[in-house]
């Protein structure tokens, strides 16, 4: 297992020095779901939520979250992002045993720099899903945010990783 880079030799937390790392194209893809009552999903899709375009507002929240990750996560570097895309899809249209359906969110974040954008992708998903919750809580307080995780990362010394492969593939 690799050593934890956010601790110095004395075990104190610090921001990692990336000044000697080369700038490369970095990509992070994260996803998650929000589970809800079928009527809540229907109203979101029909544009009948009382606060407006739920997915449009949530998409902007996800983009803003990615851009502000260093404000949320203490040891993250502020990164100049070159791309942030937030997309939604119905991942479970038929109610499960608990009666809930699921709306999925995927965030893709990219930069050219000395450090990766995995945290930015994860924050984007969380901010987007929390915004869906906020905009719909009056009609469904029982919504659940689930399965948030990194799906893929590219670039840097550790290479390309995907959840499907579950391991790092070193480049070059």
Residue of 20, 53, 134, 147 marked active site: 134
User: Which of the 8 DSSP states describes residue 94?
Assistant: S
The residue among 32, 47, 29 whose CA lies nearest residue 89 is: 32
* Sign of the torsion formed by the C-alpha atoms of 51, 55, 58 and 63: negative
Separation in Å, CA 99 to CA 91, 142, 155 = 14, 11, 41
Residue count of the chain:
172
The residue among 124, 121, 85, 125 whose CA lies nearest residue 105 is: 125
Helix (H) or strand (E) holding 31: strand 24-36
- The CA dihedral of 8, 13, 14, 17, to the nearest 10 degrees, is 50
134 among known catalytic residues: yes
Q: Output phi, psi for 121, to 5 deg.
A: -65, -40
Q: Are 156 and 34 in contact (CB under 8 A)?
A: no
Active site residues: 134
């Amino acid at each position: 297992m690799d050593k934890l880079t956010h601790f110095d030799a004395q075990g104190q937390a610090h921001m990692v020095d990336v000044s000697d790392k080369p700038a490369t194209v970095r990509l992070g893809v994260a996803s998650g779901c929000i589970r809800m009552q079928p009527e809540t999903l229907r109203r979101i899709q029909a544009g009948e939520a009382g606060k407006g375009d739920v997915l449009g507002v949530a998409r902007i929240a996800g983009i803003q979250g990615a851009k502000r990750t260093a404000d949320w996560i203490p040891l993250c570097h502020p990164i100049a992002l070159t791309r942030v895309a937030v997309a939604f899809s119905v991942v479970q249209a038929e109610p499960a045993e608990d009666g809930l359906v699921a709306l999925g969110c995927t965030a893709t974040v990219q930069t050219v720099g000395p450090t990766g954008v995995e945290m930015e992708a994860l924050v984007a998903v969380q901010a987007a899903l929390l915004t869906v919750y906020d905009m719909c809580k009056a009609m469904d307080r029982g919504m659940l945010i689930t399965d948030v995780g990194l799906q893929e990362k590219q670039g840097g010394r550790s290479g390309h990783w995907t959840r499907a492969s579950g391991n790092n593939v070193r480049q070059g």
